[in-house]
């Protein structure tokens, strides 16, 4: 096990897995689930996921990196990742904050959406960096 992985394991972490279990992520959540949101942008609306954020260094791909498929569109800035075996969206590197990943809370067994009564919907349709169509937050 790498030293950075040992340090990561000692912090408050949760496991995130795609549906088939081929892709597994470890997420360090300093303050729990932060920046919970849904988005009205085309890809976000179609994914239907409740997303939270984590700094890039606080997400580690434990297994299945070879099964992750990357999808980019519009400005080609945001990087969306899906399991190529089961099709589940696991996470994305954000366009609006490239120092963070957004991750699919539905992939975290410990996340219970019923514990969060109001999850805001962000306006991804009117993102200032857009080319024609709008951003993926």
Instruction: Quote the number of domains for the chain.
Output: 1
Q: What is the pLDDT of residue 128?
A: 67
**Is residue 135 in a domain?**
no
115: containing domain: 3-122
pLDDT in tens, the chain (137 residues): 454 555 555 568 999 999 999 999 999 999 999 999 998 888 888 988 999 999 999 999 999 999 999 999 888 888 999 999 999 999 999 988 999 999 999 999 989 988 888 888 887 777 666 655 444 44
Name the β-bridge partners of 39: 122
**Is residue 134 in a domain?**
no
**Which CATH number is 86's domain given?**
2.170.150.70
**Is residue 130 in a domain?**
no
Q: What is the pLDDT of residue 49?
A: 93
Q: What is the pLDDT of residue 122?
A: 83
**Is residue 17 in a domain?**
yes
Question: Distance between CA 39 and CA 47 in Å, rounded?
Answer: 9
**Is residue 136 in a domain?**
no
User: How far apart, in Å, are the Cα atoms of 128 and each of 3, 46, 47, 83, 112?
Assistant: 40, 21, 22, 30, 32
């Amino acid at each position: 096990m790498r030293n950075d992985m040992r340090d990561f394991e000692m912090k408050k972490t949760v496991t995130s897995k795609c549906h088939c279990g081929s892709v597994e992520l470890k997420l360090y959540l300093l303050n729990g689930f932060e920046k919970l949101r849904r988005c009205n942008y085309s890809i976000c609306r179609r994914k239907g996921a409740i997303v939270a954020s984590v700094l890039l260094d606080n997400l580690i791909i434990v297994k299945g990196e070879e099964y992750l498929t990357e999808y980019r569109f519009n400005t080609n800035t945001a990087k969306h990742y899906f399991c190529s075996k089961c099709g589940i969206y696991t996470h994305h590197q954000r366009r609006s904050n490239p120092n963070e990943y957004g991750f699919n809370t539905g992939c975290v067994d410990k996340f219970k959406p019923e514990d969060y009564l109001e999850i805001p919907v962000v306006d991804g349709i009117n993102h200032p960096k857009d080319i024609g169509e709008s951003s993926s937050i």
